[in-house]
């Protein structure tokens, strides 16, 4: 009898039927130990140490200064080094819904988001206004790509409230650029630790065609988040149109929003594509609208269904990718007068 053939690097060994609940508990424990989201990006370049991405989301691109007003996120995607890939494969075995075959990927992120009412010059915002809130977090994500399908599981750990340093960040930036001073941070949500567990599945090139000599494809996705910061179910689709479409799942974004990845594999020295997408979320909990979980705080009456429309442009070279995404979001709470809009700039560099 011949010797058994070892699995290919990055492939998930066959699971022999471990109990699903034990695997989920083990997975969460591993994630907490190894690092601290959805939309965390993945590594696909064996010759590189990893990919570093920076994402900035701000409502200045919409000409406003209200509600979800700013978000920054730094993502590091290590390359498939044997010392890190081994634990990632072990973790992937603990996820009962992951495919048993595919390339294991993982990544880390650190970010901050801030939320304000419609008028930041009022020291005591009236009832019905979105409360001031900040969110500082660290994340770790694990995924498996099998063909044109990407499964992602992530855990986010962070803090809401003054400890997020959102007040200091916004006041510093506004002082530098000469914008109005935000005066109502004394009314912000109170300190509260936060955790989010997220799962998402995307199907790249679910449908493809050609139009005016260029490629056109559709990538649907579906997922859910569970935690005291966000709890929701989401689904949507992204359309890409370009000359030579790279092997990616769209540009990086900050949660909650349409999915993205810092991994990119261009098929030429220079490439581009336009994209547009929609996503709907059925929201059970949003701490930035519902207020603190265990303490009294300001809050508003949230809407249970929220939709995003996004569109933008991606430019990529062999080791660098730039993207701009513009997002239009439906009203998130009942006293909100109109939809929100903001832009997202990102740059990813392979090292």
Q: What is the pLDDT of residues 246-270, one digit of tens each?
A: 878 778 788 765 434 566 666 678 8
Note the pLDDT of residue 226: 96
Q: Is residue 8 part of a domain?
A: no
Find tokens 């209200």 and name the residue. 66
* H, E, C per residue of 191-252: CEEEEEEEEEEEECCCEEEEECCEEEEEEEEEEEEEECCEEEEEEEEEEEEECCCCCCCCCC
Decide if pLDDT at 288 tops 90.
yes
What pLDDT was estimated at residue 16?
A: 46
Q: How many domains does the chain have?
A: 1
Q: Which of 105, 112, 133, 134 is CA-nearest to residue 255?
A: 112
Residue 5: predicted pLDDT? 46
Which of these ranges, 30-34, 304-308, 347-351, has the smallest mean pLDDT?
Answer: 30-34
What's the pLDDT score for residue 43? 44
Higher-scoring residue by pLDDT: 34, 335: 335
Considering Cα of 245, then 151, then 159, then 328, what sign does the dihedral take?
positive
Three-class DSSP category at 112: strand
- Asked whether residue 292 carries a pLDDT value surpassing 80, the answer given is yes
Give the span between the Cα atoms of 167 and 321, in whole angstroms: 31
Q: Supply the pTM of this predicted model.
A: 0.85
Asked which of 142-146, 250-254, 284-288, 336-340 is least confident by mean pLDDT, the reply is 250-254
Residue 7 forms part of a structural domain: no
Label residue 36 by pLDDT band (50, 70, 90). Answer: very low
What is the crossing angle of helices 20-34 and 82-94, to 10°? 150
Q: Is the pLDDT of residue 42 over 50?
A: no
Would residue 279 count as lying in a domain? yes
Residue 103, phi then psi, degrees to nearest 5: -85, 125
19 or 49: whose pLDDT is higher? 49
Banded pLDDT at 190 (limits 50, 70, 90): very high
pLDDT for the residue 197: 93
Q: What pLDDT does 46 receive?
A: 47
Return contacts of 214-222, CB within 8 angstroms, 24+ apart: 214/241, 214/242, 214/243, 215/240, 215/241, 215/242, 215/243, 215/244, 215/245, 216/240, 216/241, 217/245, 219/249, 219/250, 221/249, 221/258, 221/259, 221/279
What band does 83 get if pLDDT is binned at 50, 70 and 90?
Answer: low
Average pLDDT, the chain: 84
- Between 63 and 8, whose confidence is greater? 63
Higher local confidence (pLDDT), 244 or 345: 345
Residue 61 to residue 35: CA distance in whole angstroms: 33
Both tokens of 153, joined, read 């599981």
The parent domain of residue 246 ranges over 34-350
Question: 107 in a domain, yes or no?
Answer: yes
d(CA 195, CA 256): 14
Predicted local distance difference test score (pLDDT) of residue 235: 95
Position 260 scores a pLDDT of: 43
Task: Return the sign of the alpha-carbon dihedral for residues 325, 331, 336, 339.
Answer: positive
How far apart are the C-alpha atoms of 86 and 316, rounded to whole Å? 30
Would 18 be classed as within a structural domain? no
Residue 1: inside a domain, yes or no?
A: no
- Residue 15 resides in a domain: no
pLDDT of residue 211: 86
Please give the share of the chain, as a percent, with pLDDT higher than 90.
54
* Token code pair at residue 333: 């709470």
Q: Span 200-210, mean pLDDT?
A: 86
CATH of the domain at 115: 2.40.128.140
Q: Is residue 290 part of a domain?
A: yes
Confidence of residue 172 (pLDDT cuts 50, 70, 90): very high
Q: d(Cα 223, Cα 167) in Å, to the nearest integer?
A: 32
Instruction: Look at residues 267, 274, 211 and name the one whose alpha carbon lies nearest to residue 239.
Output: 274
**Average of per-residue pLDDT across 317-332:** 93
Strands 270-286 and 320-329: unpaired
Lowest mean pLDDT, pick from 47-56, 58-67, 275-284, 311-320: 47-56
Average pLDDT over residues 123-136: 97
> Regarding predicted confidence, which is higher, 188 or 243?
188
CA 25, distance to chain mean position in Å, is 23
φ/ψ (deg, to 5) at 303: -90, 135
Is residue 314 within 8 Å of residue 263, measured between CB atoms? no
Most confident of 5-9, 94-98, 335-339: 335-339
């Amino acid at each position: 009898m011949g010797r058994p053939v070892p699995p290919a690097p990055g492939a998930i060994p066959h699971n022999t039927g471990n109990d699903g609940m034990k695997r989920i508990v083990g997975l969460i424990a591993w994630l907490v130990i190894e690092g601290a989201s959805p939309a965390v990006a993945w590594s696909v370049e064996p010759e590189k140490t990893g990919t570093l991405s920076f994402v900035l989301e701000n409502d200045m691109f919409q000409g406003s200064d209200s509600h979800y007003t700013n978000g920054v996120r730094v993502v590091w995607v290590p390359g498939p080094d044997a010392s890190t890939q081994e634990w990632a494969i072990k973790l992937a075995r603990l996820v009962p819904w992951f495919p048993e075959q595919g390339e294991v990927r993982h990544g880390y992120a650190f970010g901050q988001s801030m939320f304000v009412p419609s008028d930041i010059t009022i020291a005591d915002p009236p009832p019905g206004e979105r409360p001031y809130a900040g969110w500082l977090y660290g994340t770790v994500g694990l995924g498996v790509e099998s063909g044109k399908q990407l499964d992602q599981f992530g855990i986010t750990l962070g803090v809401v409230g003054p400890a997020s340093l959102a007040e200091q960040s916004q006041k510093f930036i506004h002082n530098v650029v000469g914008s109005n001073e935000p005066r109502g941070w004394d009314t912000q949500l109170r300190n509260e630790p936060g955790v989010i567990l997220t799962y998402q599945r995307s199907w790249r090139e679910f449908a493809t065609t050609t139009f005016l000599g260029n490629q056109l494809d559709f990538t649907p996705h579906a997922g859910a988040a569970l935690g005291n910061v966000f709890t929701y179910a989401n689904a949507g689709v992204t359309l890409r149109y370009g000359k030579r479409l790279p092997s990616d799942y769209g540009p990086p974004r900050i949660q909650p929003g349409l999915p993205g990845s810092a991994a990119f594999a261009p098929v030429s020295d220079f490439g581009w594509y336009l994209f547009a997408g929609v996503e709907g979320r059925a929201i059970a909990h949003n701490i930035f609208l519902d207020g603190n979980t265990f303490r009294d705080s300001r809050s508003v009456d949230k809407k249970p269904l929220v939709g995003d429309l996004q569109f933008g442009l991606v430019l990529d070279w062999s080791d660098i990718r730039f993207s701009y995404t513009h997002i239009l979001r439906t009203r998130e709470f009942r006293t909100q007068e109109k939809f929100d809009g903001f832009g997202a700039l990102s740059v990813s560099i392979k090292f």
